[in-house]
Amino acid sequence: MTLHHYEKRAEVKFEDLYTNSISQIQLPKNELPEKISDPQVIRQLVCDELFMDGNSRQNLATFCTTYIENEVRDLMDLSIDKNMIDKDEYPQTAEIERRCVSILANLWHSPEKEDTIGCSTTGSSEAAMLGGLALKWQWRKRREAQGKSTNNPNFVCGPVQICWHKFARYFDVEIREVPITSDQLGIRSDQLKDYCDENTIGVVATLGSTFTGIYEPVQELAKALEVIQNETGWDIPIHVDGASGAFIAPFIQRNLIWDFSIPRVKSINASGHKYGMAPLGVGWVIWRTVADLPKELIFNVDYLGGQIPTFALNFSRPAGQIIAQYYNFLRLGREGYTAIQNDCASTAHYLGKQLAKIDSLELLYDGYGGIPAVCYALKDENTTGFSLYDLSDRLRMHGWQIASYPLPSNRQTIIVQRIIIRHGVSRDMVFLLLRDLRKELEHLKNNPVMNSTNKVSFHH
Ligand SMILES: Cc1ncc(COP(=O)(O)O)c(C=O)c1O
């Protein structure tokens, strides 16, 4: 380099994202900064902070989509500015939502197929609230027609996801969560008669228990409710919480009868962002027929020059997830969903078989018959010298996030771990997980934990 060139270069101010002044200070944590900043620098610093999060692909506690195709990213990007509630402004997005509702109504055997009613939501929680509300209103109308009291409604269920406890509290409905005894993981049909009464707005059956992954027996529950109706006259409907299972059973458990083919099933919710494989932020609730959703719950809103019928807890919502859901329906079809769910199930079976060979573990759910997952406990927690919480902590050092938590009542003393196999959890990842899990179990056996933790590290 000539002297001339060297001098010229020394005059140029060196520029780099990390030499920018805001990169030299702690980022503001509680107050807005006074000054505007360079977008690239801020983007990089925010990205850097996100490294502290766990790696979502190794999060085996979640049911939600963590593997996303580039085409989905493109569609999400294209629709980032679309509000799905503006149906008048974005009629084609509204049409796409309508098509998704029809596709699901067909998949779940609604007798009204293309014409029944349903909607997208932000997830299964909102969908469950809407399903629960419809049950409450239908019950109230029946009671009013009979000139009977509409006080003290209740619903009956097995171990349910937290959204149903929220529904109970927010909408003032008593939850009767049937406790599980030592030989069961979900509600049994013979338990219904002790919990249902004339104020029961519905029975919620879970297809894919959050706690263990098992399916509750919807057909058996419907039969038991038939008997109850014949004996008492109470016509108690079923809502199926198919957050995960409603996107699995139609493809890989095709002989299972659980959906609208059972007349008593009046509504079904599912998470598009779980086994529907859409990106986070979409759920679905579909009613068996139009008549099953009380008209009074539908708002016709005058908005931006149009009449919008809405039934939702939120108003504005991003449209991208719905568009991506439709993309998945078209891209995968029955063939693709079946292939992916089958692969997940066989990986879960493989994992279950390997875990069954580990002495210290007792398998509660081996991946057969429910969603692609496994659930297990320590055989004898009192003698192992460590808890599953300790195992979760050790596995976290390898990046794996595996939830430990107590079973619901009456089995809260049993701490379990659940591993979810979803699209993108490959057989090879499971090999690596098993390698780490065996190693850490060995470590804990040889190094018992003095103050073994019994913390609640995971909330449903
Ligand atoms: C059975 C069940 N219902 C409802 C939900 C809530 O779903 P979301 O997270 O889509 O709101 C979950 C979530 O795990 C679930 O497993």
Q: Find the mean pLDDT for residues 108-135.
A: 96
Residue 14 DSSP symbol: P
**Which residues, in sequence order, are bridge partners of residue 189?**
none
Report helix, strand or coil for 437. helix
- Res. 234: pLDDT tops 60: yes
Beta strands (DSSP E) in 247-344 are 265-271, 283-287, 299-303, 306-310
pLDDT score, position 11? 58
How far apart are the CA of 354 and the centre of ligand 1, in A? 28
Task: Provide the mean pLDDT of the chain.
Answer: 93
The identity of residue 238, as a single letter, is I
Residue the block writes with tokens 């992916």: 340
CA-127 nearest atom, ligand 1: 11
Task: Return the closest-CA partner of residue 156 out of 110, 188, 182.
Answer: 188
> How far apart, in whole angstroms, are the C-alpha atoms of residue 63 and residue 295?
33
Q: In the chain, pLDDT over 70 holds for what percent of residues?
A: 94
Report the C-alpha dihedral over residues 374, 379, 383, 385, rounded to 10 degrees.
-10
pLDDT at 322: 98
Q: Please state whether 186 falls in left (phi above 0), alpha (psi between -120 and 50) or beta.
A: beta
Query: Of 59, 65, 87, nearest to 327 (Cα)?
Result: 65
DSSP letters, 45-94, are: HHHHHHTTSPPGGGBTT--S-----HHHHHHHHHTTT-BTT-TTT-HHHH
Decide: 161 in ligand 1 pocket, CB within 6 A: yes
pTM across the whole model: 0.94
State the pLDDT at residue 455: 55
Q: Using a 6 Å cutoff on CB, does residue 124 contact ligand 1?
A: yes
In this prediction, residue 333 carries a pLDDT of 98
Q: What is the DSSP letter of 54?
A: P
Tokens of 209: 């228990």
Q: How far is the CA of 159 from the centre of ligand 1 (A)?
A: 12
pLDDT in the model for residue 300: 83
Query: What are the tens digits of pLDDT across the range 136-167?
Result: 999 999 999 999 999 999 999 999 999 999 99
Atom number of ligand 1 nearest to Cα 160:
1
Confidence of residue 12 (pLDDT cuts 50, 70, 90): low
Closest CA to 101 of 285, 343, 251: 285
- CATH 3.40.640.10 residue ranges of the chain are 66-460
Task: Please state the rounded mean pLDDT for residues 308-330.
Answer: 93
In a mutational test of the pocket of ligand 1, which residue from 59, 66, 161 has the highest number of ligand atoms less than 8 Å from its CB?
Answer: 161
Question: In 81-149, at which residue ranges do the beta strands (DSSP E only) sit?
Answer: 118-121
CATH 3.40.640.10 is the classification of domain 66-460: yes
- Rounded to whole angstroms, the Cα distance separating 366 from 350 reads 9
Q: Which of 10-19, 84-93, 206-215 has the highest mean pLDDT?
A: 206-215
Cβ(157) – ligand 1 distance below 6 Å: no
Asked if pLDDT for residue 62 goes beyond 80, the answer is yes
Q: Is the CB of 125 under 6 A from ligand 1?
A: yes
User: Is the preceding omega at residue 410 within 30 degrees of 0, hence cis?
Assistant: yes
